[in-house]
Amino acid sequence: MASKGNVKTIQSLRGMKDVVNDDSKLFTYFVENASAIAKRYGFSYMETPILEETALFKRSVGESSDIVNKEMYNFTDKGENEVCLRPEGTAGVVRHFVEKKLDRAGGTFRWYYHGPMFRYERPQKGRLRQFHQFGCEVFGQASVYEDANVIMMIKDILDYFEIDFTLEINSLGDHTCMPQYREKLINHLNSFKDELCPDCQKRIETNPIRVLDCKVEKCNELTKDAPMITDNLSEQCDEEFNKLKEILEYNDVPYVVNKTMVRGLDYYSKTAFEFISNEIGAQSTIAAGGRYDRLVEFLGGRETPGFGFACGIERLLELIKVKESQKEEIVYIGALDESCLNAVLKTANAKRKTTKTFIEYTPRGFGKHFKLAEKAEASIVALIGEKELAEGTIYVKNIETREEVTMDLNIFSSKTTMINKKASNITDTFPKIEK
Ligand code: ATP
Ligand code: MG
């Protein structure tokens, strides 16, 4: 056996992070509150497998997308199946929808999900290989009011976390206007094909609209005068896009139209949108989505309108601070003498029915307990010594107000909240022991 000194330590894979400590606090804070908002909008939680057939993403996200072309974690499993760690969440939800024949059931389905996604990208700030998304999908609603409804829900979520954003919207037309526009664009792009970057030269054949949002400066310059889809919409698509703008204005949701925002996935039609943070650097898109009225069909179901979005949780967490009012109250309980440990454990257990309680097993003096309580971020320190044990009392200190009291142990154990506000008086909540 190799001696301990020779054992090579194993590190997490490049672009994959443990979510722990302050990060995990923020993570759950975000997921819990975003979920609560989504539920109020009628979405219910859904979880799909992380591993899916590779064909699912080829058919939905599209063979021409960066995700399918370059970023998938795909492999052949032991049963010779071509499988893939999901790079995004929509495809799995649509697979479920079609598999369960919900396209035949009619009605509206609203689901939200959150979980890890995998993309083999070059890791950098805001760009990981395993990252997390929170997303929502709606099926069965063709109304543009639903587009606005979901956009307003995302605004509610971002507002809740006090995240400053710019909302960009565009329309990608539908099967009545996109094919003609595509031809027009291809003709235009072919006139300077050789000057485009190698990726864009390929995109002319596979997905020409993607040339418009290429990140290469030269391509941007060249396509400045290209025809734009928004100027080539069918009457109906144009009306719906105008309606969307009108609804957003009526509801005081500021937006800008970005005619070159086409989104990286092949399945969008009509509304496409992105929420861009005004505070983080290059990777600034924090939520993105749109309408996908043809996707159910692409995956073998009956034509069903769909709308959805996903946001990158890691990118959002860089912008979030836990509000003071949301901070959890923590009680620290310890023993001043060895003989009190049983009472300490019993009290902590009672307290935990209502309050997060931290227990210290080693008997210590007041000073040391206060230091440990501070480390545990406790707002209340409660200690039992031999004197308190004999009296059936407990010593309690509110760290914020520095108030101290010795009180009845049973009352302490049964009280739910001990400090409401900084200014509150501990003795209002706990009657002092009269001796
Ligand atoms: P980008 O242009 O930044 O690559 P994308 O168009 O590939 O984004 P989507 O597929 O729309 O992104 O995913 C929705 C959101 O998920 C993004 O807006 C972003 O916040 C987040 N996201 C995407 N890829 C990553 C990644 N590799 N690491 C962290 N977050 C990501
Ligand atoms: Mg990407």
Helix (H, G, I), strand (E, B) or coil at 326: helix
Distance CA 178, CA 238 (A): 12
- Report the number of distinct structural domains present in the chain: 2
Asked if residue 307 is part of any domain, the answer here is yes
Q: What is the pLDDT of residue 423?
A: 35
In terms of domains, do 241 and 342 share one? no
Asked if residue 322 is part of any domain, the answer here is no
Q: Is the pLDDT of residue 3 over 70?
A: no
Instruction: Kindly tell me the burial class for residue 138, based on how many C-beta atoms sit within 10 Å of its own C-beta (0-12, 13-18, 19 or more).
Output: buried
Residue predicted with more confidence, 432 or 108: 108
In terms of domains, do 273 and 367 share one? no
Q: Which domain holds residue 366?
A: 328-429
Instruction: Give the domain-ending residue among 317, 348, 379.
Output: 317
Asked if residue 27 is part of any domain, the answer here is yes
- Output the domain CATH number for residue 309: 3.30.930.10
Instruction: Give the domain-ending residue among 317, 342, 365.
Output: 317
212-239 pLDDT, tens digit per residue, is: 988 899 999 999 999 999 999 999 999 9
Q: What is the average per-residue pLDDT within 82-90?
A: 98
Asked if residue 352 is part of any domain, the answer here is yes
Instruction: Give the domain-ending residue among 296, 317, 338.
Output: 317
> Bridge-partner residues for 135, per DSSP?
113, 310
Closest ligand 1 atom to 129 CA? 27
100-113 pLDDT, tens digit per residue, is: 999 999 999 999 99
Among protein residues, the one with the nearest Cα to ligand 1's atom 26 is 127
In terms of domains, do 110 and 29 share one? yes
In terms of domains, do 156 and 38 share one? yes
Can you read off the two tokens belonging to residue 28?
């759950």
Q: What is the pTM of this model?
A: 0.88
C-alpha 345 – ligand 2 centre gap (Å): 51
In terms of domains, do 295 and 361 share one? no
199-219 pLDDT, tens digit per residue, is: 999 999 988 998 998 889 999
Q: Which ligand gives the minimal distance to the CA of 287?
A: 1
In terms of domains, do 124 and 251 share one? yes
Output Rg (C-alpha) for the chain, integer angstroms. Answer: 28
In terms of domains, do 67 and 153 share one? yes
251-269 pLDDT, tens digit per residue, is: 999 999 999 998 867 778 9
In terms of domains, do 304 and 354 share one? no
Among protein residues, the one with the nearest Cα to ligand 1's atom 29 is 127
CB 311 within 8 A of CB 134: yes
Distance CA 172, CA 229 (A): 6
| Reported confidence tier of residue 421, pLDDT bands at 50, 70, 90 | very low
Residue written as token pair 């979405």:
43
Among 68, 257, 262, CA closest to 172? 262
In terms of domains, do 123 and 46 share one? yes
Least confident of 62-71, 126-135, 424-433: 424-433
In terms of domains, do 362 and 419 share one? yes
Q: Which ligand gives the minimal distance to the CA of 267?
A: 1
Residue predicted with more confidence, 223 or 427: 223
The per-residue DSSP string of 26-80 comes to HHHHHHHHHHHHHHHTT-EE----SEEEHHHHHHHT-TTSHIIIII-EEEE-TTS
The fraction of the chain above a pLDDT of 90, given in percent, is 81
Phi, psi of 278 (to 5 degrees): -90, 0
Among protein residues, the one with the nearest Cα to ligand 1's atom 28 is 127
Asked if residue 210 is part of any domain, the answer here is no
Q: What is the average per-residue pLDDT within 53-80?
A: 94
- Output the domain CATH number for residue 336: 3.40.50.800
Q: Which ligand gives the minimal distance to the CA of 124?
A: 1
Residues with CB under 6 A from ligand 1: 88, 119, 121, 126-128, 131, 133, 264, 283, 285-286, 288, 310-312, 314-315
C-alpha 312 – ligand 1 centre gap (Å): 6
Asked if residue 136 is part of any domain, the answer here is yes
C-alpha 119 – ligand 1 centre gap (Å): 9
Asked if residue 202 is part of any domain, the answer here is no
Can you read off the two tokens belonging to residue 43?
């979405």
In terms of domains, do 34 and 141 share one? yes
> Bridge-partner residues for 406, per DSSP?
395
Residue 268: CB atoms within 10 A of its CB come to: 27
Reduced 3-state DSSP string for 129-171: CEEEEEEEEEECCCCHHHHHHHHHHHHHHHHHCCCCEEEEEEE
Residue 349, amino acid: N
Q: What is the pLDDT of residue 425?
A: 46
In terms of domains, do 66 and 124 share one? yes
Asked if residue 104 is part of any domain, the answer here is yes
Q: What is the pLDDT of residue 4?
A: 61
